Homo-oligomer: A and B are copies of this chain.
Amino acid sequence: VFIVRFLPSRKIAHLHSSASILEAAREAGVGIESTCGGKHKCGKCKVVVKSDPQSLSPPDEIEQKILGPSLLQRGYRLACMARVSKDTSVFVPRESRSAAQVILTSARDLPSPNSLRSPLKAYDIEVPPPTLSSPIADRERLLNLMASEYRLPHLATDPHVVRKIPFALRQNEGKVAVMVRKGQEIIGISEKKYSTAWGVAVDLGSTTIVAYLVDLFGANIVATKSTMNPQIPYGDDVISRISFCQQEAHGLQKLHKAAISAINGLIAEACEAADIMPEHIMEVAVVGNTAMHHFFLGVDPRFVSLAPYAPCLSSAQAYKASELGIKISNSGYVYLPPIKAGFVGSDSIACVLSTGLYRSRTNSLLIDIGTNGEIVLGNRDRMICCSTAAGPAFEGGHVKWGMRAASGAIEQVRIDPKTLDVTLSTIHGQQPIGICGSGLISAVAELIRTGCISHRGSFNKDLNTNRLRKGQRGMEFVLSWKEENPTGHDIVITQKDIAELQMAKGAIRAGISILMESLGSDIKRIYLAGAGGNYIDPSDAQTIGLIPSPPGCRIIGCGNAAGHGACLALIDLKSRRHAEKIANKMEYVELAGSARFQDLFFSHMFFEPPH
């Protein structure tokens, strides 16, 4: 058994065989950034050996190339490549720690309960006792009453409910309350009246998971809890997690269980905050992108990443929570709204539901910006959608100083047009340690506005400022001098970073253009959804040409629209029907292999000439 100690946290992994530092970190629960998912590509998982360098396998050519001689000399190693051969201690530098992302949890208020059709209804009833001349069974007397008095024939009951019936009926002379799901099944029986039915809506994002505890009868969110997705150590984005589950024995099980236990943890936290028991929760609704949806169900999503990108299942599902290991009432259910395609998941459907795009007369555009940009354009008559592989730039990946939207991330940049002095805003106002997606967009927008870069994206070398300089691999612009931040380095934007953003925004904008060519360019509303979308400054987004600027169009950051849509699906059967209709009706445009998309992608990689 080897022991690996992680500094500064002092967490420890016990290894039974040789493993990489990254694997040991997963074991110990230490978050190390690994945008490429341990594939020896991103170079984000740098750690420093603090014990005998011989305790790790020597760096091979690839690792030497990624790190360079100077870092190697200072004891730096890539956690994904260095394998443990003895007890060792490693230090995880600040920039390699996977920071807690700022999680967008705010969902809009829910509609009035009067306008909803709840999947759960409570009935207060009085079941007559059995008699010697008619010793009808307990369950059958109860069911007969529900059929005759409430026109609910053939109600199902699972063993858990059946086991409770005889005692409940004898507690209070046959007076009981029953909870009926969708007019089809008794999922609860109690000698006390039900004050409400409790439910949980879950937005299962690749990066963050948010759970809303909802009082279904009052249509109130009573607690909101969120966490980083514990699948992150297995790969930052869904593609690397899919490869993880292809390559690792029990990889799928690990990802499935990570999602389930994280959700169980959030449910327990939310229940504690509201002073109820998880057993009181009767229904859960979960939305996520297709890969997360599949991981949640324990379904291997590997074929989603291969042409023609078909999901394993797409229609709405309802399973007993216990079948999936979700810890709520034994008889409770998990509902999953439908997904549309391999890269348009139920989170997108939930956004369409939440924004009301599906019932608007005029065209609306909905963009969920992330590694994959899901785009929906439409109105109540027609909706079309597509998904573009934007790459990780919007989440800080492939960007020299990129990071997630966590404390200390630069989220807004202002450059004085005359002096080219820089003013930064960071998340939580802390000293800057990197740049998140909205910060990158903001910086590039300012560089465009101040003429520092051309519409093709290249730096204007004639500028008279020491911020613009030649770096190791081409030109770079200094946002923060090393004296102004705790990293010990200048924080810069490189020519390559700008190119990454150009590709990301080109892909999304090309997707938008494809949809507009099909449905028209008269757009009255643009919804920016998801954590990324919500924090992006609309004018920055228009400056870099990420989104179009149709006349008279409102741009709306719509918060956690997926979470809000999950809440609607949780509490309202009509919303479930709408979600199912949206999935059926919405047309999916596959961009992979489209020559037109390629053309548009290349032309949208450039910025529009400044006004």
Which A residues lie at the B interface, using CB under 8 A? Answer: 130-133, 135-141, 157-159, 162-163, 165-167, 170, 297-300, 302-303, 307-315, 319, 323-324, 339, 341-342, 588, 590, 592-593
Contacts and interface: CB of A to CB of B under 8 A. Distances in A.
A336 to B, nearest CB: 11
B140 A315 contact: yes
Nearest to A299: B163
Contact of A136 (B170, B303, B310): B310
Contacts of A158: 319, 323
Residue of A136, A163, A302 with most chain B CB atoms under a 10 A cut-off? A163
A132 B593 contact: yes
A159 to B, nearest CB: 6
Contact of A590 (B132, B166, B310): B132
Given A163-B298, A163-B299, A298-B163, A137 B323 contact: no
A137 B310 contact: yes
A55 to B, nearest CB: 41
A129 to B, nearest CB: 8
A130 B308 contact: yes
20 contacts: A132-B308, A133-B590, A135-B309, A135-B311, A136-B310, A136-B314, A137-B312, A137-B339, A138-B303, A138-B311, A138-B312, A139-B312, A158-B319, A159-B298, A159-B299, A159-B319, A165-B313, A166-B300, A166-B302, A167-B300
Contact of A310 (B135, B300, B308): B135
Contacts of A313: 137-140, 157, 162, 165
Top-4 shortest CB links A-B: A130-B310, A137-B314, A139-B313, A137-B311
Contacts of A303: 138, 166, 170
A369 B264 CA distance: 52
A135 B308 contact: yes
How many chain copies does the complex carry?
A: 2
A300 B163 CA distance: 7
Residue of A162, A165, A590 with most chain B CB atoms under a 10 A cut-off? A162
Contacts of A592: 132
Given A140-B314, A166-B300, 4 more contacts: A135-B590, A159-B319, A162-B297, A163-B299
Contacts of A140: 313-315
Majority SS of interface residues in chain A?
loop
Residue of A158, A162, A166, A342 with most chain B CB atoms under a 10 A cut-off? A166
A297 B132 contact: no
Contacts of A319: 158-159
Contacts of A302: 166
A258 B10 CA distance: 47
A334 to B, nearest CB: 10
A341 B162 CA distance: 16
Contact of A307 (B132, B339, B593): B132
B312 A165 contact: yes
A297 B136 CA distance: 18
A163 B252 CA distance: 11
A139 B310 CA distance: 10
A163 to B, nearest CB: 5
A347 to B, nearest CB: 16
Given A138-B303, A159-B298, A159-B323, A166 B312 contact: yes
B135 A297 contact: no
Contact of A131 (B163, B170, B297, B308): B308
Contacts of A157: 313
Nearest to A311: B137
Contacts of A137: 310-315, 339
Contacts of A133: 590
Contacts of A315: 137, 139-140
Contacts of A138: 303, 310-313
Nearest to A134: B308
A204 to B, nearest CB: 16
Nearest to A139: B313
A593 B165 CA distance: 27
Nearest to A339: B137
A340 to B, nearest CB: 10
Nearest to A166: B312
Contacts of A130: 308, 310
Contacts of A165: 312-313
A329 to B, nearest CB: 14
Contacts of A588: 135
Contacts of A323: 158-159
A287 to B, nearest CB: 17
Contact of A299 (B136, B166, B311, B342): B166
Given A135-B590, A170-B303, A162 B308 contact: no
B299 A135 contact: no
Nearest to A313: B139
A545 to B, nearest CB: 28
A162 B590 contact: no
A330 to B, nearest CB: 10
Contacts of A342: 135
A171 to B, nearest CB: 12
A448 B544 CA distance: 110
Contacts of A298: 159, 163
A133 B132 CA distance: 67
A131 B307 CA distance: 8
A297 B590 contact: no
